Structure 1
Amino acid sequence: MIRVLFCIIFVSCCLSAPAQADERSISDLEARKEAINLELSGLAYPSLRGGVGAIGFHSRPFLQDDEPLWIEIDLGQGRLIDEIALVPVLWRDMEAGFRANAFPAAFRVRAGTLEDQEGVVVAEYEAEDTLKSIYPLVLPIEATKASWVRLEVTRMSKRVHDERYVFQLAEIMVFSGLQNVALRRPVKFSFQRPRDPSGAWASRFLVDGSVPYLMDTASGHQSLGYLSGFGESPDIYIDLGAAYPISGIRLHAVHQSNHVPQAYFGDLGIPRHMRIEGANQADFSDAMVLLDYRVKRISDTGPIMMWNLPETNCRFVRLVTVEKNVSFGVSERLSRIGFSEIELISSGQNAALGKKTWVDSSLEAYRSPEQLTDGLNAYGAILPTRRWMEELALRNDLELELKHLEAALNLKYMRQKVILSWMRWIVALALVGSGFVILYSRLQAIRKEAIIRERIAANLHDELGANLHSIGILSDLARESIATPEPLDDILQKIRGLTERTGAAARYCSNMLGAKGICDDLVDDIKREARRLLVDIPHELTIENEQIFNDLKRRKRIDLYLFFKESLVNVVRHAKATSVQIRFSGNKKEVTLIVADNGCGFTGDLPRSLRRRARLMRARASVEHPDAGGTVIYLKLKV
């Protein structure tokens, strides 16, 4: 029964195991899941921007996916580049939510210098299925000096709404350290661009630094940024405390609105024409123009506006409003200026972080200008662009791994559930089986006890009864031989021998196997009992293949001997026979005993004592009553 239970458990485990299950244990998977969730809690979130703005750049549609296309970005002077980030164009799927749209299925990135127009392949990508992830694709590359970078598309994917092959991207970033050296650089392309009446698609939007995400990081607290009073556009001043080589500017727009839909296009607080100046004198007597920017259309603005600048040393920076924002339905009376953060990039770091900031307004500000350099936006801490893209890409990888982990855990939990269900059934079956085993054992014990009692009774009856009957016969002969001493002495010796055998039989009646001298030689015992019991009855004893009888197991020899003995006692007691024929025969499979007499016979079945002995020895016994008279007893015992 224990073997059966183990077999059931093994089979259930095998049947419930998935074909390609994760080999890690549940505890390992759960530990990895916890580690991933902990790591995800510290990464930037893919919060999507709203409002109106630039989307990116795309080609005209094609019927085949293998049309060779390329886009090349002029980096100017040779720069050592080490990472490329590609941001997909996003599409709102009405059923599945946001997804990437027509991201190239296969491409390679080639980089070279002005002297090497052929360049070298620095990265390759090929996907088995259409990319649907909204996250940027970050490609770390070996540090390579490059004056240009070319993206060569070898296989396009289908655009969602018309199922035609198109190449499109929202942004291409090429990093040298923390600096995006592709920012606002000239772009060339090998294909014909389609008409764009919306103004949201253009090659310059590939490198304007504007992506479809909001910088929603997992650290820092919310800062609403600075916003002037209505109708005001004061100049904004920053004191860096010392001269820094400024090589870039990032302007973070103020949070536009939490309402849905938004109250503004996305240009709240951004002047239509602004100028950023740098100086080393506090009165800006030595002012140098760092940036002069004019917003011509809504696509020129965004949550983050970035520029790379020729490196300029300055301590003081001011932002001057040349023309207020009155172009998109906001009157001059209600116009304002404001930003969430102003970053002045020097050696890849924000030199303005935590520096003194003020405005030249005499009116009370709507929000404090100190929030312009606190390193925070409406979602939390502000990150370098490269780190931001890397965190989003890492989040994508971890979320995919987490999805696979959860699937593996669900399979293992399901397997555990199946095994637990099997175990419940096994335990139930084991309890029921144990009950049956206990009941069966009890019944067997009772049966064995009954068999033992029956065997003891049979032994007492067959052995002691026959011996006592023989002693009675010999006593009668002794009384008749009182006058003749010689036969009397022989009879008394036989009586003495029988009493000793009877005593031994009485001691071992519960277990005849323990008695010494009984049926050690079955043939001799048979002959002796025949002479002793049939002393005054003519008889004939035939034994064929004597060795077979002595080779029987001792239990079978004793049972056969007692059956034979009881058969002779019945003849002597009841048959009143004058002749008895006894025949033993046997082979390797069975032995046969036949006892025939010519006595008065009897009606009915085999005597009870003989039936009992035959049952104990698991033999077949029967009786016949010939027409000529007498009785014939048959016994067949399997060897």
Structure 2
Amino acid sequence: METQLFEIDRELAQCPEIPPLQVVSNAGYHSGFAPTLDAARWIQLDLGNEYAIDSVVIVPACINGAGAYGFPGKFRVETSRDVLMSESELLLETTVEEPSSILPHCINAGGVRARYVRFTALSLVPQPRMTSRFIFCLGEILVFSGGRDVALQAAVLAPNSVETLPTWSPKHVVDGSHGLGIPSSPLDSGSNGWHSQIFRAQNSECWVQVDLGGVHTLDEIRLIPAHPRDYPDRAGFGFPLRFKIEVSLTPTFSEPALVFDGANVDFANPGETQVAFPCPRSPIRYLRVTAQKLWERSGDFVFALGELEAFEGRQNIARNAVVTASDSTTSSAWRPSFLVDGIGGAGMLQDDAAWLHGLSRRRLLLEKREELIRIQKQEIKNSQERSGRMAQGFVVLAVGSIALLFLRGRITRAREIEVVRQQISRDLHDDVGSNLCSIRLMAEMSCSEKSLRPAEDVLSEIRTLAEKSTESLRDMVWLLKERGQPGVETLVEKMRGVAGALLVGMEWNFTIKIIPAEAVAPISFHRDILFVFREALHNIVKHSGASSVEIQFSWNPSGVEMCVVDRGCGFDPKNSLAGDGIENMRYRTGHLNGTLLIDSRVGEGTRLVFKMPKP
């Protein structure tokens, strides 16, 4: 064990040092408040296009430089080409509570192609100074493909979130800024960057411009704030309150393209964090930053930057480029050339991906070191308490018992999975097979000269059957991916996704009563509940004309209850013939030894209550 500790310490010396935590105004993403630790909460990124993803990096949120805030104890990260995540690739799922750390989590994706990335909190944390409200927070999500963060300014879907600007917003999780600050290695001395002349009026305009030396197609522009050593308490020195960034093929900017326009709203000072802007992928050679409202120094006003970077892929092509400006202040620490010398954030700038991966490696090594020390102390204590062979025999017996129980459990689960697979096979034959047969018959009849139905009606019905078959197949694929005794939380999360997909254009609310963390159910239970739920929503969309839907799901000691209420047209159950949808729901509910209660009146909506015993 001493050898292991020595090797860990040797490897730690090669990792980036833990950076000083920064005070950032845009802290990141904050989930909505939940009454229980195990409530379903997730956030999903839309990268805009499919990418071969190398890794996903999760940076915890940081408030006032005081360490990790609201990071969940357990979580799952997955990718998909489908917005509903019905066919997803699991990258990581933690099964034990993660120790609190501000250092990032780097998750290897192995080049999987995907457009969507979802982070799901499996165990929330108590809100500070609150005992009955639980949350989770993130500082930044970075998705690296070819060394570039393709999640920068991506679209964010966060159904349960808090937006209290400027601190919390879903969009802050992809703004390129986080509490770890600027990726750099410390230097004892170095340049400050570029500094304008000193102005008396705050609304004076000045600019600095970089010639990239040739035509390039940029992906990203980064501004690194200045932090001169003679102003140690003023990070973000000279960063303008209002500015714009333009690119052009000509040095005169006769026909510029606008990358960022901050002329109308003050930009929060980034302090010791970088500011990143995605670029339009068009040919350019020159880029210019124009300050339109200057930073106040000491009764006067200036514009200054520590470094400017322009990335084509993962290469900073602005390094050592030619810099010109409307005006400049020149000294031993301030020069136009220092804007592109690779020094910023009081150190030598590092590759984003490599720096974050190194910090993630440091976190793992520190956790492993702490665990080894804990084990070492425990072994010393145990050696004083054990009595040789008796203890060894007990350990062997315990391991054998656990192995036997594990084997028996696997056999039981295998039998259950086989039963569900047979059920799914029957569903494929009865449901999907029937739909495909109907599609074929309608197509043949439509092609016939004797067809009496308009082609538009036939095509509409074929489309409806195809969509229903696709939904059934997705549910079956999801069920096949579940293993053993899946948690009820997984089922609830899937139901939320189904509701979001089907109830488009409606207001809907999904309320969950307390579900114990240990609540699990056989796959067959998941299957029937999901199919009943989907059928209920299908009926609402197809027949009710409702504008809002209320959904409740509870897991009580006495049983399971699901209630679906719509504010639609309603119907008279006594005078209406039960269609296939209602009969199918009754059959599925009866298969779970449950009951279906229908309360509906014409013009007053419909209330469906499904009650069944716990499996």
**Equivalents in 2 of 1:154, 1:29: separation in Å?**
32
**Equivalents in 2 of 1:172, 1:227: separation in Å?**
32
**Counterpart contact for 1:230–1:333, Cα < 8 Å:** no
**Counterpart contact for 1:54–1:300, Cα < 8 Å:** no
> In the alignment, does 2:88 pair up with 1:120?
yes
> In the alignment, does 2:105 pair up with 1:137?
yes
Q: 1:230 to 1:113 in 2, by over 3 A?
A: same
Instruction: Name the counterpart of 2:75.
Output: 107
**Equivalents in 1 of 2:237, 2:294: separation in Å?**
8
Where 2:362 maps in the other structure, the secondary structure is: helix
**Equivalents in 2 of 1:376, 1:405: separation in Å?**
38
**Equivalents in 2 of 1:100, 1:244: separation in Å?**
39
Instruction: Name the counterpart of 2:13.
Output: 38
Q: What do residues 581-618 of structure 1 show as CA deviations (whole Å, max 9, x unaligned)?
A: xxxxxxxxxxxxxxxxxxxxxxxxxxxxxxxxxxxxxx
- The alpha carbon displacement at 1:410 in A equals 8.6
**Counterpart contact for 2:236–2:269, Cα < 8 Å:** no
**Counterpart contact for 1:47–1:215, Cα < 8 Å:** no
Instruction: Name the counterpart of 2:464.
Output: none
AA of the residue aligned to 2:319: L
Instruction: Name the counterpart of 1:456.
Output: none
> In the alignment, does 2:222 pair up with 1:250?
yes
Q: 1:234 to 1:146 in 2, by over 3 A?
A: same
**Equivalents in 2 of 1:59, 1:245: separation in Å?**
37
**Counterpart contact for 1:246–1:344, Cα < 8 Å:** yes
**Equivalents in 2 of 1:362, 1:91: separation in Å?**
36
Q: 1:364 to 1:384 in 2, by over 3 A?
A: closer
**Equivalents in 1 of 2:263, 2:237: separation in Å?**
15
Q: What do residues 399-455 of structure 1 show as CA deviations (whole Å, max 9, x unaligned)?
A: 33444566788999999xxxxxxxxxxxxxxxxxxxxxxxxxxxxxxxxxxxxxxxx
**Equivalents in 1 of 2:328, 2:367: separation in Å?**
54
Q: What do residues 164-211 of structure 1 show as CA deviations (whole Å, max 9, x unaligned)?
A: 310211111111121111111221112153x63x63111111111110
AA of the residue aligned to 1:319: V
**Counterpart contact for 1:99–1:133, Cα < 8 Å:** yes
AA of the residue aligned to 2:287: V
AA of the residue aligned to 1:205: H
Aligned with residue 62 of structure 1, among 5, 29, 34: 34
**Counterpart contact for 1:86–1:169, Cα < 8 Å:** yes
Instruction: Name the counterpart of 2:613.
Output: none
Q: 1:332 to 1:324 in 2, by over 3 A?
A: farther
Where 1:153 maps in the other structure, the secondary structure is: strand
Aligned length: 374
**Equivalents in 2 of 1:379, 1:61: separation in Å?**
39
AA of the residue aligned to 2:309: E
- The alpha carbon displacement at 1:256 in A equals 7.0
AA of the residue aligned to 2:343: L
Q: What do residues 229-255 of structure 1 show as CA deviations (whole Å, max 9, x unaligned)?
A: 321653212122222211110111111
- The alpha carbon displacement at 1:223 in A equals 3.0
**Equivalents in 2 of 1:39, 1:184: separation in Å?**
32
**Equivalents in 1 of 2:147, 2:178: separation in Å?**
17
- The alpha carbon displacement at 1:312 in A equals 2.3
Aligned with residue 218 of structure 1, among 185, 191, 207: 185
Instruction: Name the counterpart of 1:234.
Output: 206
Residues 11-30 of structure 1: pairs in structure 2 closer than 5 A:
22=1, 26=2, 28-29=3-4
- The alpha carbon displacement at 1:368 in A equals 0.8
Instruction: Name the counterpart of 1:190.
Output: 159
**Counterpart contact for 2:61–2:71, Cα < 8 Å:** yes
**Equivalents in 1 of 2:328, 2:347: separation in Å?**
30
Q: 1:169 to 1:378 in 2, by over 3 A?
A: closer
Aligned with residue 274 of structure 1, among 221, 243, 250: 243
Q: 1:47 to 1:115 in 2, by over 3 A?
A: closer
**Equivalents in 2 of 1:32, 1:192: separation in Å?**
43
Aligned with residue 56 of structure 2, among 59, 80, 84: 84
Instruction: Name the counterpart of 2:275.
Output: 305
Measured on the aligned residues, the alpha-carbon RMSD in Å equals: 3.3
Q: 1:312 to 1:269 in 2, by over 3 A?
A: farther
> In the alignment, does 2:259 pair up with 1:290?
yes
Where 1:390 maps in the other structure, the secondary structure is: helix
**Counterpart contact for 2:147–2:353, Cα < 8 Å:** yes
TM-score, normalised to structure 1, is 0.53
**Counterpart contact for 1:111–1:121, Cα < 8 Å:** yes
Aligned with residue 127 of structure 2, among 125, 146, 159: 159
Instruction: Name the counterpart of 2:308.
Output: 342
**Counterpart contact for 2:251–2:286, Cα < 8 Å:** yes
Aligned with residue 356 of structure 1, among 322, 326, 334: 322
**Equivalents in 1 of 2:183, 2:83: separation in Å?**
42
**Equivalents in 2 of 1:90, 1:371: separation in Å?**
31
AA of the residue aligned to 2:58: L
**Equivalents in 1 of 2:42, 2:376: separation in Å?**
43
Q: What do residues 2-49 of structure 1 show as CA deviations (whole Å, max 9, x unaligned)?
A: xxxxxxxxxxxxxxxxxxxx3xxx4x3475255235324xx2432211
Aligned with residue 318 of structure 1, among 278, 288, 299: 288
**Equivalents in 2 of 1:332, 1:230: separation in Å?**
10
**Equivalents in 2 of 1:82, 1:37: separation in Å?**
24
Aligned with residue 71 of structure 1, among 43, 60, 63: 43
- The alpha carbon displacement at 1:281 in A equals 2.7
- The alpha carbon displacement at 1:355 in A equals 1.4
- The alpha carbon displacement at 1:109 in A equals 2.4
**Counterpart contact for 1:173–1:182, Cα < 8 Å:** yes
**Equivalents in 2 of 1:314, 1:390: separation in Å?**
31
**Counterpart contact for 2:185–2:350, Cα < 8 Å:** no
AA of the residue aligned to 1:155: S
**Counterpart contact for 2:27–2:63, Cα < 8 Å:** no
Instruction: Name the counterpart of 2:141.
Output: 172
**Equivalents in 2 of 1:126, 1:87: separation in Å?**
16
Aligned with residue 170 of structure 2, among 186, 203, 207: 203
**Equivalents in 1 of 2:99, 2:263: separation in Å?**
36
**Equivalents in 2 of 1:55, 1:91: separation in Å?**
7
- The alpha carbon displacement at 1:153 in A equals 2.6
- Structure 1 gap segments, 5+ residues each: 1-21, 416-639
> In the alignment, does 2:353 pair up with 1:381?
no
Q: What do residues 76-125 of structure 1 show as CA deviations (whole Å, max 9, x unaligned)?
A: 12222221111112357xxxx94422212233223223587523133233
**Counterpart contact for 2:183–2:355, Cα < 8 Å:** no
AA of the residue aligned to 1:306: A
**Equivalents in 2 of 1:342, 1:140: separation in Å?**
29
Q: 1:295 to 1:390 in 2, by over 3 A?
A: farther
Aligned with residue 22 of structure 2, among 26, 49, 74: 49
